[in-house]
Structure 1
Amino acid sequence: MADQQTLQKMRQLVDQLNEYNYHYYALDNPQVPDGEYDRLYDELTALEAATGTWLPDSPTRRVGTEPVSAFESHQHLAPLWSLDKVKTEEELINWETRLHRQLGDLANDSLEYMLEYKYDGLTINLTYENGLLVQAATRGNGETGEAILAQVKTIGAVPLSIPYQGTLEVQGEGVMRLSIFEAYNKTAQEPLKNPRNGAAGALRNLNPQVTASRRLDLFCYQVGYCSDREFESHEAMLAFLRENRFPVSPHLRKAAGIEAVAREIRQMEAGIPQLDVLVDGVVVKLNRYDLRQEAGFTMKFPRWAVAFKFEAMEVTTRLEDVVWQVGRTGKLTPAAELTPVEVGGVTVRRATLNNFDDIQRKGLQKDCLVWLRRSNDVIPEIMGVADEPDAACSPIEKPHHCPACGSEVVEKGAHLFCPNTLACKPQLVAGLAHYAGRDAMDIDGFSEKTAALLFDALDLRSIHQLYRLKLEALLPLEGFQQKKAENLMQAIEASKHRSLSRFLYALGIPNVGKRTAGDLADHYGSLERVMAATTEELVALPEIGAIVAESITTFFGEERVREAIDALLQSGVTPESAEESPPHEATAFTGKTVVVTGKLSTFTRQEIKETLAALGARVTDSVSVKTDILLYGEDAGSKLTKAQKLIESGKRSDLLLMDEAAFRRLLSE
């Protein structure tokens, strides 16, 4: 029984941990390093064990936190359990001792275990019925999560259909690969803080286009529910996942006995620098399912599995200074210069910060001691101050002038921008590199380093000047031998004939990525029509919202932009529209936006999309006021309900609801 003072301490710890849980799980915004959270959690666990008392809202008694209200709730068919954790080999041995005790005579001297990396991303629960993906959800509180089907569908690794025809739930971890993270941040208007936030933020973003832009990956590790299949072992379950085209971790290991498990864990930890994903430990599971059933569960954890957490790569060091860097859009981003410190075998001298608000929120000052966290090969992150600033510390001033060109900066929301788009070197160099990039005009051999060299040596200040370069001007430059110079000239010439979608993306229109550029090119067909489009016209397009539409019209409304485009056209750049296919004979679906929902008996999802496209329709995933037709099958669910509400409210009284039988009759006419 706990005394009043101990109860008060437990209440303080519970409130503190629940607050941290909310920020970590619900907001994807960790407030403290993992090591600090684990210390508080262990302190609470020790008090509970010593007193035999648990507060009803203790985080040791439940999984995660409640979902936020931005997405619809989804009830999992089977619970998604949390895992108990250990941090030393001694704790690992103690865990197995308890497991042996639980299994009794069923346990032999060398229990067989499966080991896999514990990926650091966002847990996803996939639901399949009749071989089709029908739902995807976050973990939430373990029983109820947030429905994120449209977002998860953008992950190429997720199978939309599988051979298995029963009802199935598969659990996995959505991750952003380190290489993708680094490439994304090189051109992103808003760089990501770290890959975990990149994955979690993408999956919980209401706009699936944002999710798609992050190019997430998935590793599946567990069948949570299977309507008519039982497995003898974890190995058999993984084989089933592979047979059904689910992505499974390539780094799986099997070991007999806890000593062998410990050896494997040491080897896996040593292999972390070679990984292209974030991991924070190794999950150890009993292989045999009959033994799992006998071991059972506590109120929170399965007794047959445990997470071996690696030591957090967190240290303290001194923040010596903050320097401001200018990006392609003119945004000023702060970078912290640190007293060099070893983290995970790497010497760290710099760390990124988001903006001036981030500096203030974390209470950072020059010469203060800060917590630094480094995960794998990711740019280190400052978590906050390690001690209260002393007299030796000094405030970090907000810049009023661009560090590159001296222009007076302007504030837009939480960010600072240099307005000197015509002469600020970092903006011009990054803009040239973006224009020449592989996804844009694809000028082979033209990098940001090349752009900086030409800026300094040849006074290259605008994109159209690329097309006036002469071979003899390149040859004297450092690194430009005859062959390299000739290749670059040929690549520049070839870039004059690129698709309209590539050209639009190359222009660097704010908030317009590759997909939106493609949508604009497909819809308008010519550069002139895109430039003349009004905000009202753009908003009417299915995949373009008010913010993107405003960005497009504002961009093309600027005189300097029109002059720059005209200079490119005068230089011979000819954006080419995709060849138009022969026009479809007009049908009831021509020009209509169609959403498909429910189970169809005579079409797969891919077949129905192709059929509708052949009829002239545009197929989208979500119901909105822009939807013209909802084609539904059995168990249509929330999309049908939403469409009915749009009709009843009068917002889209002309929205047509069509079942599969009616659709087949139309096809046969």
Structure 2
Amino acid sequence: MNLQEAEKLIAELSEQIRYHNKKYYDEDAPEIDDAEYDALYRRLENLEAEFPELVKPDSPTQTVGGHALAKFSPVTHTVPMESLHDSFSEQELIDFDRRVRAVVQDPVYIVEPKFDGLSVSIEYRDGVLVRGSTRGDGTVGEDITENIRTIRTVPKKLKEPIPFLEVRGEVYMSHKVFFELSAMQELNGEKTFKNPRNAAAGSLRQKDAKITASRKLDIFVFNVQQINGVELSEHDEALKFLKNLGFTVPPFFTRCNTIEEVIAEVRRIGEMRGSLDYSIDGAVVKVNSFAQRRMLGSTAKFPRWAEAFKYPPEEKQTKLLNIEVNVGRTGVLTPTGVFEPVMLAGTTVSRATLHNQDFISEKDIRIGDTVVLRKAGEIIPEVVSVVSHAPDSVPFVLPNTCPSCGAPVVREPGEAATRCTNPECPAQLLRHLIHFCSRDAMDIDGFGPAVLEQLVSSGLIASPADLYTLTEEQLISMERMGKKSAENRLNAVEKSKQNDLYRLVYALGIPHIGLKAAKLLAARFGSIDEIFRASEEEIATIDGFGEIMARSVRQFFDLPNTAHLIGRLRDAGVNLTAMSQGAKDLRFAGKTFVLTGTLPTMTRSQATEIIEKFGGKVSGSVSKKTDYVLAGENAGSKLTKANQLGITVITEEDFEKMIQ
């Protein structure tokens, strides 16, 4: 490879790595796994070693990957939070030892697990926590003090009033908590985190500390960054000191006198990582003596006194015995592979998700195949590739009907998921009930996820309509449910019968129909019976509706299960008509309003509600499609643009005349 070719390839690799750094560090949404990233990074390192004249100061090999996000205040680290250089073979550890011994005599090493989470700094003054921050780019991080305070294992006050102390640790989410969070996210129809590391990082960088607190994060503290008032000379001494102050330090760390002992300990940690309830992606080897660390110093990016050993993802071949199709709580059909059991990362694996039809088709996965399995993030089994097909095998295709209830399934254009269309499908009952009772839907107070789960598991409800047949005796029979609580819940159910039609339409959980679309649908047709009779073409004429939304509504109301559910709700006395007169008076149908400035007697939200009630639409910007601009005092650029385009400008007085 000549210099010009190397320069071009280095630029391409650098751009790829920066992109993946942004996805991993800043967005907590990696698109490739650690092994793929490490391969890219190592390739760039090797090229730069071969062509040192092409190394630039802003190369990914010379800088830490993350950046401080604008939503948090920046924190400049007095002591840089350096990254670690990675080794991928035992020979590279031997090379590290040789480099260390070229500078210092008889080094002693500490070997500890390399935790896979988010690196943070925590500062204390006089023993009291004063600030927490992320690593960021190593020099500037983000102030996340309030979020750090929510982690129960972070001491808010130390056992000794140290004048000043800054520690470094890794915030993580245990596997148990990760699986609980994933189940709840799935239940709520939310996007799940890819692995515990992403979950920890995403949870710690929330603007609302209450969300962080609910995620049950944890931390291991493993470094003293700065300290005043106490002299420490060795790393293992510092770890014991931190533990005595109340910190949670690495649960195991080993003192080694030779590189052979280091390698033996690295192997031991690798063998046990599958049994841990937290993720580790390697082991860290550190020179124990702080004096020797100062002699060794650092490169532009890495300390020369430490090395990270990254474990390669363990991959094994096995046979795919069957593909089971299950229906998740959101109605999504999920294919699961059943394999001949194989040991991976310390545990026996016999099942793994195959995600969706696209994943199966892309890899051409068939029953009877010999496949390669590995654990993503060391905890989640996945199929890497197909080695060979069995004789007479055929491509696998998801069924056309739901395995749980037999209803037709649908896959919308542009979506990977295949979903059951039945609103009363038993497999997704709990999720439907939670949505049905939520505040923006039927707003039935007292029926949260825990209560609904009890009702479903006890067989008391199998449909949203069953909420309206519950009795006081049935509720009292539930765990921790008294007479008064039962009465309050039944009153909430009774009250919900009087809700406006749009709430029920939204509560039905029609695919692609959110709260705003439900309001438009209810306003346009006025009753559930009229929606049943409406054609797809009529629905598509609603301003703001598209072809996909109209088809989704029509398909939903064509289902026999929908008619059955609505019939039961009608019998229970649930209101099925739009309450406001505006549902029939569509004087603003097809008209678009823009609001600007301060109105004399009404708020913008009140004016918006009136416009929508009469079938109109409110937009946030002025364009040629705008019909009216309702302007109040201190109207700004929107009024100027309206005048330029010749759009009708009205006052609140004009507006009141229009709605009389």
Residue of structure 1 in register with 2:166 after alignment: 169
Give CA-to-partner distance per residue, 1:156-203, whole Å, 9 cap, x none. Answer: 111223343534322111111112222333343344332122212212
Q: What CA distance in whole angstroms lies between the structure 2 residues aligned with 1:138 and 1:320?
A: 46
Give CA-to-partner distance per residue, 1:343-375, whole Å, 9 cap, x none. Answer: 335554443366778x59x95554599875415
Residue of structure 2 in register with 1:237 after alignment: 238
How far apart are residue 127 of structure 1 and its match? Answer: 2.6
On the 8 A contact 1:327/1:430 being kept in 2, the answer is no
Matched residue of 2:122: which SS? strand
Alignment of 1:335-346 (within 5 A): 335=336, 343-344=344-345, 346=347
Q: What CA distance in whole angstroms lies between the structure 2 residues aligned with 1:75 and 1:371?
A: 45
Mark the CA change 1:77 to 1:396 in structure 2 (over 3 Å): closer, same or farther. Answer: farther
Q: What amino acid does structure 2 have at the position aligned with 1:30? A: P
Mark the CA change 1:145 to 1:376 in structure 2 (over 3 Å): closer, same or farther. Answer: closer
Q: What CA distance in whole angstroms lies between the structure 1 residues aligned with 2:16 and 2:417?
A: 31
How far apart are residue 419 of structure 1 and its match? Answer: 5.6
Does 2:146 correspond to 1:136?
Answer: no
Does 2:91 correspond to 1:90?
Answer: yes
How far apart are residue 235 of structure 1 and its match? Answer: 2.1
Q: What CA distance in whole angstroms lies between the structure 2 residues aligned with 1:85 and 1:355?
A: 35
Mark the CA change 1:532 to 1:150 in structure 2 (over 3 Å): closer, same or farther. Answer: farther
Give CA-to-partner distance per residue, 1:409-455, whole Å, 9 cap, x none. Answer: 67898866546444x22234788999999993599xx899xx4xx76
On the 8 A contact 2:109/2:256 being kept in 1, the answer is yes
Give CA-to-partner distance per residue, 1:375-432, whole Å, 9 cap, x none. Answer: 57723245x7689x9xx9999878875442234567898866546444x222347889
- Return 492-501 or 224-233, whichever deviates more: 492-501
Residue of structure 2 in register with 1:593 after alignment: none
- TM-score by structure 2 length? 0.61
Mark the CA change 1:493 to 1:336 in structure 2 (over 3 Å): closer, same or farther. Answer: closer
On the 8 A contact 1:115/1:253 being kept in 2, the answer is yes
Q: CA RMSD in A?
A: 5.2
How far apart are residue 39 of structure 1 and its match? Answer: 2.6
Matched residue of 1:155: which SS? coil
Q: What CA distance in whole angstroms lies between the structure 1 residues aligned with 2:516 and 2:483?
A: 26
Residue of structure 1 in register with 2:42 after alignment: 42
Q: What CA distance in whole angstroms lies between the structure 2 residues aligned with 1:220 and 1:260?
A: 24
Mark the CA change 1:351 to 1:8 in structure 2 (over 3 Å): closer, same or farther. Answer: same
Give CA-to-partner distance per residue, 1:23-44, whole Å, 9 cap, x none. Answer: 2222223333322332332232
Does 2:105 correspond to 1:112?
Answer: no
Q: What amino acid does structure 1 have at the position aligned with 2:13? A: L
Matched residue of 2:35: which SS? helix
Does 2:120 correspond to 1:124?
Answer: yes
Residue of structure 2 in register with 1:622 after alignment: none
Alignment of 1:211-360 (within 5 A): 211-314=212-315, 324-333=325-334, 335=336, 343-344=344-345, 346=347, 348-352=349-353, 359=359
- Return 192-201 or 205-214, whichever deviates more: 205-214
Matched residue of 2:102: which SS? helix
Q: What amino acid does structure 2 have at the position aligned with 1:440? A: A
Mark the CA change 1:31 to 1:431 in structure 2 (over 3 Å): closer, same or farther. Answer: closer
Residue of structure 1 in register with 2:26 after alignment: 26
Residue of structure 1 in register with 2:152 after alignment: 156
Percent identical: 34
Q: What CA distance in whole angstroms lies between the structure 1 residues aligned with 2:219 and 2:363?
A: 36
Matched residue of 2:120: which SS? strand
Q: What CA distance in whole angstroms lies between the structure 1 residues aligned with 2:475 and 2:291?
A: 66
On the 8 A contact 2:285/2:308 being kept in 1, the answer is yes
Mark the CA change 1:355 to 1:366 in structure 2 (over 3 Å): closer, same or farther. Answer: closer
Q: What CA distance in whole angstroms lies between the structure 2 residues aligned with 1:499 and 1:234?
A: 59
How far apart are residue 82 of structure 1 and its match? Answer: 0.9
Q: What CA distance in whole angstroms lies between the structure 2 residues aligned with 1:95 and 1:46?
A: 16
On the 8 A contact 2:275/2:347 being kept in 1, the answer is no
How far apart are residue 146 of structure 1 and its match? Answer: 2.4
Q: What CA distance in whole angstroms lies between the structure 2 residues aligned with 1:101 and 1:499?
A: 77
On the 8 A contact 2:33/2:376 being kept in 1, the answer is no
How far apart are residue 311 of structure 1 and its match? Answer: 2.2
How far apart are residue 140 of structure 1 and its match? Answer: 1.5
Q: What amino acid does structure 2 have at the position aligned with 1:45? A: E
Matched residue of 1:374: which SS? strand
On the 8 A contact 2:271/2:345 being kept in 1, the answer is no
How far apart are residue 62 of structure 1 and its match? Answer: 1.3
Unaligned runs of 5+ in 1: 471-488, 508-524, 535-547, 568-648, 650-669
Matched residue of 2:269: which SS? helix
On the 8 A contact 2:271/2:346 being kept in 1, the answer is no
How far apart are residue 231 of structure 1 and its match? Answer: 1.8
Alignment of 1:465-544 (within 5 A): 492-497=477-482
Matched residue of 1:380: which SS? strand
Q: What CA distance in whole angstroms lies between the structure 2 residues aligned with 1:206 and 1:355?
A: 33
Query: Structure 2 residue aligned with 1:179, among 164, 176, 185?
Result: 176
Alignment of 1:64-79 (within 5 A): 64-79=65-80
On the 8 A contact 2:467/2:493 being kept in 1, the answer is no
Q: What CA distance in whole angstroms lies between the structure 1 residues aligned with 2:476 and 2:382?
A: 39
Alignment of 1:638-653 (within 5 A): none
Mark the CA change 1:427 to 1:442 in structure 2 (over 3 Å): closer, same or farther. Answer: closer
Mark the CA change 1:549 to 1:234 in structure 2 (over 3 Å): closer, same or farther. Answer: farther
Does 2:2 correspond to 1:15?
Answer: no
On the 8 A contact 2:476/2:483 being kept in 1, the answer is no
How far apart are residue 335 of structure 1 and its match? Answer: 4.2
Mark the CA change 1:75 to 1:467 in structure 2 (over 3 Å): closer, same or farther. Answer: same
Alignment of 1:619-638 (within 5 A): none
The number of residue pairs the alignment matches comes to: 499
Give CA-to-partner distance per residue, 1:592-642, whole Å, 9 cap, x none. Answer: xxxxxxxxxxxxxxxxxxxxxxxxxxxxxxxxxxxxxxxxxxxxxxxxxxx
Q: What CA distance in whole angstroms lies between the structure 1 residues aligned with 2:423 and 2:432?
A: 10
Query: Structure 1 residue aligned with 2:450, among 440, 444, 449?
Result: 440
On the 8 A contact 2:272/2:346 being kept in 1, the answer is no
Q: What CA distance in whole angstroms lies between the structure 2 residues aligned with 1:5 and 1:440?
A: 61
Mark the CA change 1:270 to 1:338 in structure 2 (over 3 Å): closer, same or farther. Answer: closer
Matched residue of 1:128: which SS? strand
Q: What CA distance in whole angstroms lies between the structure 1 residues aligned with 2:472 and 2:204?
A: 44
How far apart are residue 213 of structure 1 and its match? Answer: 2.8
Q: What CA distance in whole angstroms lies between the structure 1 residues aligned with 2:131 and 2:356?
A: 37
On the 8 A contact 1:158/1:246 being kept in 2, the answer is yes
Residue of structure 2 in register with 1:609 after alignment: none
Q: What CA distance in whole angstroms lies between the structure 2 residues aligned with 1:498 and 1:181?
A: 36
How far apart are residue 498 of structure 1 and its match? Answer: 9.3
Alignment of 1:325-474 (within 5 A): 325-333=326-334, 335=336, 343-344=344-345, 346=347, 348-352=349-353, 359=359, 365-367=364-366, 372-374=373-375, 378-381=379-382, 402-408=402-408, 418=420, 420-422=422-424, 424-428=425-429, 440=450, 451=457
Residue of structure 2 in register with 1:208 after alignment: 209
Mark the CA change 1:5 to 1:321 in structure 2 (over 3 Å): closer, same or farther. Answer: farther
On the 8 A contact 1:164/1:244 being kept in 2, the answer is no
Mark the CA change 1:339 to 1:147 in structure 2 (over 3 Å): closer, same or farther. Answer: farther
Alignment of 1:553-632 (within 5 A): none
Q: What CA distance in whole angstroms lies between the structure 1 residues aligned with 2:206 and 2:41?
A: 30
Q: What CA distance in whole angstroms lies between the structure 2 residues aligned with 1:245 and 1:93?
A: 36
How far apart are residue 283 of structure 1 and its match? Answer: 0.8
